[in-house]
């Protein structure tokens, strides 16, 4: 049976960096599920049709990391039919051997509620805005407004809102260096997964 690590949290909290590091450390597959929603939003047209017809090539478009793609992702993610169209893809990915790390906003609560490890990665609004602004070369104040709007939309949507799973381990990266955050995540996995 595949070992599943579900990582959720708001934008720019560090969940993607932690997810990639965990996948490397444990030799697992990694899926940034936000790319599915970004690719759906960037495709344009009918978002439900776009979600149903995503291809591997759609996930490699360079503009998927832009702030605009992030906003588009948040808008299409609020559409229940889009979420439904992408659930099967994510669950099939999670079943890959020897294990998988999926990061997003509803992995531990909806996509993989039976994941062996669930992490919820957070950071203060100001830290997240500064990180994302540095990544994109954007204005931190404008980024703070965008992140708060996206958090509100993601947390208040009727279908699969952003929230920690009841049994998630919360990691606050506000005052942590990357290696410290990754070490905390590895320790959380090691408490559940027997040494091999």
Give, in order, the Cα–Cα distances in Å from 86 to each of 55, 176, 188.
Answer: 12, 33, 28
By the 8 A CB rule, do 120 and 89 touch?
Answer: no
Residue numbering of the annotated binding site for ATP: 9-17
Tokens 């990391």: give the residue: 65
Residue numbering of the annotated binding site: 9-17
């Amino acid at each position: 049976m595949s070992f599943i690590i579900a990582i959720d949290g708001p934008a720019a909290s560090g969940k993607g960096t932690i997810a990639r590091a965990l996948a490397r450390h444990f030799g697992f597959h990694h899926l940034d599920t936000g790319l599915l929603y970004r690719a759906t939003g960037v495709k344009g047209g009918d978002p439900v049709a776009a979600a149903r017809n995503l291809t591997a090539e759609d996930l490699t478009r360079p503009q998927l990391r832009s702030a605009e793609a992030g906003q588009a992702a948040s808008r299409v993610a609020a559409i229940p039919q889009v979420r439904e169209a992408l659930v099967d893809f994510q669950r099939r990915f999670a079943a890959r051997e020897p294990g998988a790390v999926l990061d997003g906003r509803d992995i531990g609560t909806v996509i993989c509620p039976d994941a062996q490890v669930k992490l919820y990665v957070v950071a203060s609004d100001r830290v997240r805005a500064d990180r994302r602004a540095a990544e994109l070369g954007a204005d931190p104040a404008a980024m703070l407004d965008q992140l708060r709007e996206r958090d509100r939309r993601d947390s208040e949507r009727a279908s699969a809102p952003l929230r920690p799973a009841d049994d998630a381990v919360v990691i606050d990266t506000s005052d942590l260096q990357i290696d410290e955050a990754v070490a905390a995540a590895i320790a959380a996995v090691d408490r559940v997964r027997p040494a091999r």
